[in-house]
Amino acid sequence: MTDERSSEHASVLSVDARHVWHPYTQHHTWPPPLDAVRTEGAYIHTRDGRRIFDGISSWWVTLHGHGQPEIAHAIAEQARTMEQVIFTTFTHEPAALLARDLCAVLPSGLFRIFFSDDGSTAVEAGIKMAMQYHANRGTPRTQIVAIDHAYHGDTFGAMSVSARSVFTNPFASHLFHTHHLPSPHEGDTVSALTTLLDTTAHDIAAIIVEPLVMGSGGMIVYDESILRAIRDLSRARGVLLIADEVLTGFGRTGPLFACERAGISPDILCMSKGITGGFLPMGATAATDEIFDAFLSDDRRRTLFHGHSYTANPIACAAARASLALLNETSATRRATIEATHRTQLARLASHPLVRTPRVLGTIAAFDLANGNDYLNPIGRQLADFALAHDILLRPLGSVVYILPPYCSTADELQTVYSVIEQFLATQ
């Protein structure tokens, strides 16, 4: 590193250390962050000249690859025309066309899009829609059903329908009551839901699920038949189904949405993360016309009183439309290559005595380390540090290791990731 670059690097880290509070970071014990200066394709470039492979799509948001030119161009063009406008008195072309484009590819029956800021806010909107839908129809229902090990976000409603864990425990007394079903990998989710609905269906507004992959709870993959059974039970009892596709949406499990893979359509579907290709924050909640119609009234009290200052930001909408257009046959081929590479490489790792429950769904690969399933298990941090020393970004969920790369990643790049993991396992 040159003296000038070294000075700039030191300055950035000094300012960061004095003023910045990073998410999910124990500042007392963790080393200083890396100083990123540029991203391109599947790589993050640092000020000191390193080129780091982004094995987790920068928290699952970078869909096609960093710096995708089509999205960058769409953002620049929109910024020159209209950067922001209030989305109550006004509408605008980027939002209207994005809503149309989303409805064209979403599971059937979802024709209304409510825009927000991120995954948590998309879930918050979905929960409020579900509860108020029943209230507006004169049949109030206030209970929500969720699944053990679920994670739906960090705002209070989203935490309430998430698992009680290290994420939520400090706030437990302020979270609303939620019925929790056993996770598919630990119990009979469907039987538990059947029993619950037999006694309390009249009080339950909705069940919220992460379809097919439960992300932060440990990349738990479950069978499509379970999701179909949940859909059938909820429909039969007049309970709304909320699908949290914040992680799984936009091709992560193969098809554009995990619900599509299972052949079901929810009543409400929450989106974020990859919606803009990783360029800008945005959330969206899709709903059926039946739900939307329950809010139409001469009585203003039946309005959905929910919104965000940057709802349907035109620049974010333009980015999302450009990203959606890139989910074409070429993208599908790349996703299939990633899945095939995952399966081949995981099969090699599976014989290691520490590797348990290897699993692949679309572009998501994961396995457990035998040291125990605990988010605070230090082995995850040890692997992350080892990988980073080899210029690969991984961020295990405790003892759960996952690889979730941008769609531009090649088989050779993924083989390198697995090789580094194999080297780490050899040290244990």
**Strand, helix or coil at 209?**
strand
In angstroms, the CA 241 to CA 222 distance is: 17
Give the confidence band of 377 by pLDDT, cuts at 50, 70, 90.
Answer: confident
Contact 55, 393 (CB under 8 A): yes
* CATH hierarchy code of domain 34-68+329-426: 3.90.1150.10
128 is catalytic: no
Tens of pLDDT, residue by residue over 330-346, are 999 999 999 999 999 99
Q: How far apart are CA 152 and CA 50, in angstroms?
A: 34
Q: SS3 for 402?
A: strand
Structure tokens at 196: 């619950």
Alpha-helical runs (H) found in 153-297? 156-160, 189-200, 224-236, 258-262, 289-293
Tens digits of residue pLDDT in 353-375: 999 999 999 999 999 997 666 77
Of residues 45, 39, 47, 43, the one with CA closest to residue 55: 43
Quickly state the pLDDT bin for 2 (edges 50, 70, 90): low
Instruction: Report the first-to-last Cα separation within the chain, whole angstroms.
Output: 33
Residue 215: C-alpha distances to residues 230, 247, 268, 402 (Å): 19, 7, 19, 10
Residue 263: its pLDDT value, please?
97
Give the pairing of strands 240-244 and 268-271.
Answer: parallel
DSSP reduced 3-state for 204 = strand
CA dihedral 360, 365, 370, 374 (to 10 degrees): -120
Does the fold of domain 70-325 match that of domain 34-68+329-426? no
Residue 370, pLDDT score: 78
Summarize the confidence of residues 299-321 as an average pLDDT.
Answer: 97
- The whole-angstrom separation of Cα 311 and Cα 292 is 18
In the chain, what are the domain boundaries?
34-68+329-426, 70-325
Exactly one of 3, 24, 298, 299 is catalytic; which is it?
Answer: 24
pLDDT tens per residue, range 73-109:
999 999 999 999 999 999 999 999 999 999 999 999 9
Segment 385-398, tens digit of pLDDT: 999 999 999 999 99
Q: Write down the mean pLDDT value for the chain.
A: 95
Active-site residue, from 117, 148, 244, 368: 244
Catalytic residue among 43, 151, 222, 418: 151
Exactly one of 273, 368, 402, 418 is catalytic; which is it? 273
Amino acid at 48: D
Q: Alpha helices of 297-328 — where are they, by DSSP H?
A: 314-325
Alpha helix locations (H) across 91-248?
A: 93-105, 119-136, 156-160, 189-200, 224-236
Distance between CA atoms of residues 295 and 350, nearest Å: 52
Active site (annotated) includes residue 151 = yes
- Please state, in angstroms and rounded to a whole number, the distance separating the CA atoms of residues 210 and 232: 16
pLDDT of residue 172: 93
Identify whether the C-beta of residue 401 lies closer than 8 Å to the C-beta of residue 421.
yes
Is residue 156 very low, low, confident or very high in pLDDT (cuts 50, 70, 90)? very high
CB 403 within 8 A of CB 394: yes
The b-or-e profile of 303-312 (16+ CB within 10 A means b, else e) is: ebeebbebbb
Q: How far apart are CA 378 and CA 347, in angstroms?
A: 25
CATH of region 70-325: 3.40.640.10
So what's the pLDDT on residue 117?
95
- Catalytic status, residue 310: no
